[in-house]
């Protein structure tokens, strides 16, 4: 028999698609305004929607303290990284190693592995130690010598919620003379990040997850003095200072991060994410609220004798708590969903991410459900 609808769904999927009060209404209004603009019988579409996208870019610059002109949109983190790889001067990577942790977002590893032969670098993946759940910072640094042309760091991992020591790792990369990139995806929006504090050479991210935005609204940001070296091979009419210059013999890259753009940009996704970014910019207690709930999750898990796959120390973890279960996690997720308790799993890892619309009562319901089902 189908389960009755619960009046108060318990949502723990902020590592995937974040929610906030009024999200549907805010998105509907923004996308409805876009539809009115794009469907009007006039010639004002491009000036208006590019202005709307600039709001998106401005909110992102404010979020991570990025200099003007150093950040632009990308469809996702993979295309953002591809634009970086394809824009670097060949000598930056030729004959060198590229370093990444085994607990990275797989899509980025797929790309780096696929580009290695053509760009003539060796991809080295630092492993997770036997019996552990995340790559140790000391293992990254031990593998990171002066022959490493580029290292891609993961701010917060998606299967352990491990938050690396970015300050130490970036400083080590600078000593080695390497380019240092950071994938912000699983931490941004719940763990504060500023390029002033963590001066990476470039960062990539999405506006999904803790930022509660839409798919297709990624970003790429790069150190301004490094941008001048870049000549992205994925280029198009929006890579120019003036996208509407169609002189086939006069292509010239834009002087700023716009050179990472290529064909027609995903304006719709950016516009749809603006309400979420504005909502987030007005919040002051996102992390504090999360810490109360994640501490509850950890305590309940320990009481049940469940295996934590996430660090205990708050300074070493993101906004999620991961549990390593020995049973059938897929069935557990399905049975919890039937009670309108929403979590997910990656293999044996149950992922629990409480956010703005998660309450202490939801944590209690989650663990009552887990205990009954296990």
Tell me the average pLDDT of the chain. Answer: 97
Long-range CB contacts (within 8 A, 24+) of 334-338: 335/369, 335/373, 336/366, 336/369, 336/370, 336/373, 338/3
pTM (predicted TM-score): 0.96
Same domain (yes/no): 115, 255? yes
Domain contains 51:
yes
pLDDT value at position 1?
38
Same domain (yes/no): 134, 53? yes
Same domain (yes/no): 61, 168? yes
Q: Which residues of 128-145 are buried (b: 16+ CB within 10 A; e: fewer)?
A: beeeebbbbbebbbebbe
Same domain (yes/no): 49, 190? yes
Burial class (CB within 10 angstroms; exposed 0-12, middle 13-18, buried 19+) of 46: middle
Provide mean pLDDT across the span 294-298: 98
Domain contains 2:
no
Same domain (yes/no): 306, 367? yes
Placement of tokens 């996308």 in the chain: 31
The pLDDT tens digits for 111-146 are 999 999 999 999 999 999 999 999 999 999 999 999
Q: How many whole angstroms separate alpha carbon 239 and alpha carbon 263?
A: 8
Same domain (yes/no): 78, 217? yes
Same domain (yes/no): 335, 296? yes
Domain contains 292:
yes
Same domain (yes/no): 139, 277? yes
Provide mean pLDDT across the span 27-45: 97
Domain contains 249:
yes
Evaluate whether 314 touches 344 at the Cβ level (below 8 Å): no
Evaluate whether 306 touches 366 at the Cβ level (below 8 Å): no
Per the structure, the complete domain to which residue 328 belongs is given by: 10-21+285-373
DSSP 6: P
82 three-state secondary structure: helix
Same domain (yes/no): 102, 244? yes
Same domain (yes/no): 299, 234? no
Distances (CA, A) of 361 to 183, 292, 358, 367: 33, 12, 8, 10
The pLDDT tens digits for 221-275 are 999 999 999 999 999 999 999 999 999 999 999 999 999 999 999 999 999 999 9
Domain contains 5:
no
pLDDT value at position 346?
97
Same domain (yes/no): 263, 132? yes
Same domain (yes/no): 106, 224? yes
DSSP 156: B
Provide mean pLDDT across the span 336-357: 98
pLDDT value at position 3?
53
The pLDDT tens digits for 38-91 are 999 999 999 999 999 999 999 999 999 999 999 999 999 999 999 999 999 999
Total domain count, the chain: 2
307 three-state secondary structure: strand
């Amino acid at each position: 028999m189908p389960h009755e609808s619960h009046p108060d769904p318990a949502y723990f999927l902020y590592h995937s698609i974040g929610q906030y009060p009024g999200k549907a209404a805010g998105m509907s209004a923004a996308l409805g305004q876009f539809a009115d603009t794009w469907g009007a019988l006039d010639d004002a579409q491009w000036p208006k929607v590019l202005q709307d996208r600039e709001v998106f870019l401005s909110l992102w610059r404010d979020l991570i303290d990025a200099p003007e002109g150093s950040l632009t949109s990308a469809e996702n983190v993979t295309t953002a990284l591809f634009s970086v790889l394809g824009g670097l001067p060949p000598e930056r990577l030729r004959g060198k190693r590229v370093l990444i942790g085994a607990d990275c977002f797989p899509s980025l590893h797929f790309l780096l592995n696929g580009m290695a032969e053509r760009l003539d670098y060796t991809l080295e993946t630092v492993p997770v130690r036997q019996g552990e759940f995340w790559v140790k910072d000391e293992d990254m640094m031990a593998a990171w010598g002066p022959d490493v042309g580029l290292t891609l760091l993961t701010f917060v991992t998606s299967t352990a919620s491990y938050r690396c020591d970015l300050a130490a790792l970036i400083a080590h990369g600078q000593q080695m003379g390497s380019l240092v990139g950071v994938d912000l995806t699983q931490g941004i929006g719940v763990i504060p990040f500023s390029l002033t504090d963590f001066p990476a050479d470039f960062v990539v991210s999405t506006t999904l997850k803790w930022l509660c935005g839409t798919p297709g609204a990624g970003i790429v940001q790069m150190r301004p003095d490094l941008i001048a070296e870049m000549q992205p091979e994925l280029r198009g009419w929006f890579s120019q200072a003036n996208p509407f210059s169609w002189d086939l013999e006069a292509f010239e890259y834009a002087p700023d991060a716009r050179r990472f753009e290529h064909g027609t940009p995903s304006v719709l996704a950016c516009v749809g994410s603006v309400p979420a970014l504005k909502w987030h910019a007005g919040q002051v207690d996102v992390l504090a609220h999360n810490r109360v709930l994640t501490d509850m999750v950890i305590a309940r898990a320990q009481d049940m004798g469940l295996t934590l796959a996430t660090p205990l120390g708050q300074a070493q973890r993101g906004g999620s708590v991961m549990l390593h279960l020995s049973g059938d996690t897929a069935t557990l997720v399905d049975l919890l969903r039937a009670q309108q308790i929403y979590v997910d799993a990656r293999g044996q890892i149950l992922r629990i991410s409480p956010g703005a619309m998660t309450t202490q009562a939801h944590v209690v319901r989650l663990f009552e459900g887990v205990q009954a089902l296990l």
